[in-house]
Amino acid sequence: MEERKDVFFIIILFGIISLLGDIVYEGTRSISGPFLATLGATSIVIGFFSGLGEFLTQSLRLIFGYISDRKKIYWPLTITGYALICGLPFCGITKSWKIVVFLFLLERIGKAIRTPSRDTLISFVGKNIGVGKSFGIHELFDQIGAVIGPFIFFFTLSKFKSYSIGFNIMWIPSILLILTLIISRKRYKYDGEVETTKNHYKVFSKNAFIFYILFVLFSVSGLVNFPLISYHIKKIGIINEAHIPVLYLIAMGVDGVIAFFVGRLYDRVKFKILFIVPLFSIFLPFLSFSKSIIFVIICVLFYGIIIGCHETVLRAAIADVTSSEKRGFAYGLFNTVYGFGFLLGGWIIGFLYGKSLNFIYIYVVLSEIISLFFILTFILKKYGLEKSR
């Protein structure tokens, strides 16, 4: 009983770390475009470096995931990655867009450094209470920070018409972030060896893991992303443009709440719950590209549920399909494929939007059906392996 309380405490600390980090970098990202414009950056500069940042944060995760497993330096990489967030408040004291871009890119690289190691650490300790529940709690805290951060800048810009005040406020969560990291490191007592001996871990075949990764790729590449959803809403004028951010906040709220419950459900039914992702994604384009406000609201709720599943059960499953010795690399590969899927799907669906909505419907349905094939094959292999043992 005492051990379970300690595990919950560690998971909550990880959640607070993500909450504080999200306040800083999600808040900063919410105003990055207009802020850079006030410093003289052109649209080409903003677009290029925004894309470069996302490319770095996704592609480098594979490398740092491999390094974390090779050197067993999960905590140093986690702390380093989060520490780079703390450079963002300096944006409030510079007049150079080049320095701001440099700090933005450092944060994106920091996310690539910390994410595979952090998820690995959560999976190690999470085995004691359920990895689904652990990632669900983590995502709930994460989304709270993702809402607070943009709201702080919204408030400071509305009240004081000043970016610098918002950046100065960001020093508070930055300092608390470092302090929480120190506390978490001192309280953390779990590693891969503990997991292996205590939970009698069974390793799946490489083929099974490949099927899972392919499932992630096709299910994510068939998802209609929110920027395109919001673009459609603005284009047809179904609601006031000023209310579109509210829809996003609703989606993120649903994400945080559903993540907690779906994480607990994952620990009971395991991989079967993964069918939710493609099944909900199939209906998304039919809802998001309609002209009905009711369908748009349902679309936002669906989007929040899907992202909540992405951030919880897709991550939790990695802990159940890989050995502890290779989990950092597995999370790095997962995040790289996940990011590529978003990039590929966004590009294809965006291109098809200019042609015909029917093409989008066909593309999404085919992508999600293929993903269902891969997850079904993966589950059949799983049960086949268990019977053979």
pLDDT for 11 equals 93
Task: Report the distance separating Cα 91 and Cα 54, nearest Å.
Answer: 19
Neighbours of 211 (CB within 10 A): 23
pTM of the model: 0.79
Are the CB atoms for 339 and 58 separated by under 8 Å? yes
pLDDT for 215 equals 95
pLDDT for 347 equals 83
Task: Report the distance separating Cα 143 and Cα 298, nearest Å.
Answer: 20
Residue spans of the chain under pLDDT 50: 197-203
Are the CB atoms for 255 and 326 separated by under 8 Å? no
Helix, strand or coil for residue 240?
coil
pLDDT for 326 equals 82
Please state, in angstroms and as integers, the Cα–Cα distance from residue 338 to each residue in 13, 318, 342, following that order.
Answer: 26, 13, 6
pLDDT for 201 equals 41
pLDDT for 197 equals 43
Give Cβ neighbours of residue 209 (< 8 Å, ≥ 6 apart). 321, 322, 330
pLDDT for 224 equals 87
pLDDT for 88 equals 95
The first and second tokens of residue 294, run together, are 């009711």
